[in-house]
Each structure stands twice: as structure tokens, then as C-alpha cells.
Amino acid sequence: MSPTESPANPDRPERKPGLKRRTFLTGAASLAGLAAAKLWLTPQSAEAAKPKSPTVPDDPTKVPGSPPTPYGQRSAFERTVRLVVPSHSLTPLQDLHGVVTPSSLHFERHHNGVPLIDPARHRLLVHGLVERPTVFTVEDLQRFPSVSRLAFIECSGNSGSEWEGQGGASAQEIHGLFSTSEWTGVPLALVLREVGTRPEAAWMLAEGSDAGAMTRSIPLAAALDEALLCYAQNGEPLRPEQGYPLRLLIPGWEGNACIKWLRRLKLGAEPFMTRDETARYTDLMPDGKARQFTLVMEAKSLITSPSGGQRIRPGFVEIRGLAWSGRGRVTSVEVSTDGGRTWQPASLLEPVLPKCTTAFRLPWRWDGRETILQSRCTDETGYVQPTRRALVAVRGVHSGYHYNGIQSWKVGADGRLSNVHL
């Protein structure tokens, strides 16, 4: 039996998750990457979401099994769910295996609900500084040569509750605006070659077809290398909350730049300075200035097991976690079992792919005394994940986005793990 135990009811948080409202200069604005609303899944609705307890035969070899169904269902014994509020949901990182997030558990974030779109009527307009403004149907795009790749998407507001204080108890509550999938689509470069990009084009406006009309300016040269116009995720069409029928994916960039329900691309010579990149998605620095277009997600790692809300017993424990970098491959992960005084190299599990999640593990024997677990990663550019203290020293506590400080889990004498700041 594993020495790692889950809370009494792992499908329901022990306390209300603490994605705290951020205090900005005015004291009124809140992070757009985190929702203002905090109507988390109630105990009643969480209970209703659980599968019904199955009637288990004494000997399954004596009873005919169930027939196939048109769309597969998970076992009635599996109860991992997302924490949800009206504007977003959080991936239960501590309960997953490997690096791929099931599509049904991929975090979602939207600004005015999930639109209902008929793929047969959906169109993508490509115009601006192009030789041949063109309207594409989804079918048109699916006729281009396709590419599939594994990549993570992380909301720029992920872990943002940690800037000002301890904003959550579990890996899901603190870091759950993060997921990894296999994405399939047509390279943006192919589509732009089809319409003919004019030499002066340097930026691209990407616009969604949702009620929030989410819009971002994208530096064109950087996007051309890897951007995909995606229509599939994990082997099937995108789910509505992931941008069905078409979304932009720029591996390694903050999630809001990967525009969902994509309906328009406009090329221009300058950034378009839309509401979403002026009123939101800027990093407030200690001197009161805000940084714009900080699109790349820096290297980050997280111990997911054991982690906050779980409990261990003395003896062998395999420490497991996830690491990623928007700048390329993760090259190493170190783990500390004594609050950062010493560090040991963890094993990286294959595949280790650029701008994708890498799983790591380290065998450990807990002696029953209080201690603190941490992980820190390094990517192929040499960037090392900072401590929270070092991050705050540069960025202050009102930065809002792009929090990638080292996560510390305190192991109490009773074996319970909790979120702490050093």
C-alpha cells in the first residue's frame, strides 16, 4: 500500500480554495487570469457530479460484462474532478499520471462563457498586411498538411494567488491553471504563405468568436516558428471549452495568447493595443510601471505527490512531480527534502520534449520528522527556477501574472502536507 494518502474526500476540497482577489494600485482591479468570482463547486453539486456507486458482482467471471457504448466512460470508481467556478476550472494535477491531461480535466478559462459554434458555419478571416485576404472554413484548414505535438498551456495567472500570500492548499488550487495535451492542426506559417504576407507585417491580431471577443497582438516572427491553428486535442476534435472548432496554439506562451474560437487574424506593422493587453495581462512592477507582452512562460516545477492536502506515513515515499519551460526543454530537476539546505537530482521521465511537461521522480525515505519538500528546475537556456523570495525581490507582490517561484510543501509530524512560504 502506498504511504501516500488522500484527504477524507479527495473529490472535494477541505476548505474553500484561496485564489485571493488581487490588490492592485486602485485596489479594485482583479487578475483577469484568475476569476473574480469565487463560487466554487458546492458540496452538493460535487456530490451530484460523482458517478453512482456501482453494484459489484461477487465474481465478475460469472456475470456478463457491460456492452460497448458510443462514447467511452471512465470507471465508476474513479472520481477525480476539476474545481470549477463560472469563469474557469482547475486541473487536479495531484491526481494525474504521466504528462498528458485528459481532455475532460484540462483547465478552462474564458471571459464571457463558452460559445456554441456550428463548425460548418465557422469562418477564419485572414486580412490586413497580406496579398490575398482570405476567408477559410474549418474544412479548408483541415485540407492543409497537419502537425501533432505535445505542448503545455498555462494561464499567465496560474499560481498568482501566491504573490501576496498563501493562496491555496493543494497543487490543484494553487497551480491548476495548467494542462498538457497533444494538439493537432495546421501550421500558421502554411496558412500565411497561402495568403501572402507583406514584408512590413510584424504583428498579428488574433481574435476569438466568444462573447468576450478575446483579442491579443502576437509578434509575428516569433509565432511563425511553431504556431498551430488547432482543430483537435488528444485525438479528437477540440472540446467547446478548449476553443472548438478552432484555436491558436503558440507553444510555451501564456494561455491567453492561444486564442480560442479563433475567427480572425489581422496582420499589421505595430501591436494593436487591445483592451485585453492594456487593461489586462500586464505585469505590474514595484515602481508602478507595467510590462507588456511578457508572453513566454518561464521554467517552473512542482511536486505533485506528496503535495498539499495529502498525508504520508514514515517509510518509503516516491516524490513525483512535473516541470516545464516555455523556452524549451527541461534539462534538470533538483529536489530538496530539507527546506532547501541540500538538493538532489531527480530522474526525468521520457519523453523530455521542448515546451512540454516533463515528469520527474526521486525515491525518499521519510523519518517521521517535520520537514519541507521543494523542487526547482533548469531549462536548456540555463534559466533556473527562482525561490519565491528572489522572485518577489525583483517583481514585488502585485505583479499578478507569471508566478514561477519554488513551491514549498511542509510535512508535519502527523504526515500532513501544507503550503508554506520560506
For 258, what's the count of Cα atoms within 13 Å in the CB-facing half-sphere? 29
Closest listed residue to residue 251, CA positions, set 201, 306, 351, 326: 326
Q: If 0-12 CB within 10 Å is exposed, 13-18 middle and 19+ buried, where does residue 15 land?
A: exposed
pLDDT for 280: 87
Residues 6+ apart with CB under 8 A from 267: 126, 127, 128, 129, 130, 192, 197, 198, 201, 203, 204, 205, 220
Q: Is the confidence at residue 41, as pLDDT, over 60?
A: no
pLDDT of residue 25: 30
How much is the pLDDT for 20? 41
Q: Nearest to residue 324, comparing CAs of 379, 258, 256, 286? A: 379
Torsion on CA atoms 131, 137, 138, 139, rounded to nearest 10: -100
Q: Where would I find the beta strands (DSSP E) of 11-155?
A: 83-84, 88-90, 108-109, 123-128, 134-137, 147-154
pLDDT at position 50 over 70: no
Count the Cβ atoms, other than its own, within 10 Å of residue 373: 25
pLDDT over threshold 90, residue 11: no
pLDDT per residue over 198-249, tens digit each? 999 999 999 999 999 999 999 999 889 899 999 999 999 999 999 999 999 9
Cβ burial, residue 289 (10 Å; 0-12/13-18/19+) = exposed
Per-residue model confidence as pLDDT tens digits over 148-186: 999 999 999 999 999 998 889 999 999 999 999 999 999
Residues 392-403, mean pLDDT to the nearest whole number: 94
Strand partners, 228: 187, 249
Of all residues in the chain, what percent carry a pLDDT higher than 90?
81
Long-range contacts of 22-29 (CB under 8 A, 24+ apart): 22/160, 22/163, 22/164, 22/398, 22/400, 23/164, 23/398, 24/284, 24/398, 24/400, 25/284, 25/288, 25/398
What average pLDDT score do residues 95-101 get? Answer: 97
pLDDT-based confidence at residue 349 (cuts at 50, 70, 90) = very high
Q: State the pTM of this model.
A: 0.88
Q: State residue 37's pLDDT score.
A: 37
CA distance linking residue 100 with residue 375, whole number of Å: 20
Q: Which residues pair with 319 in a beta bridge?
A: 362
pLDDT of residue 379 exceeding 70, the answer is: yes
pLDDT band at 49 (very low <50, low <70, confident <90, very high): low
Mean pLDDT of 267-271: 98
Share of the chain residues as helix, strand and coil, in percent rounded to the nearest 5:
15, 30, 55
- Tell me if residue 243 falls in helix, strand or coil: coil
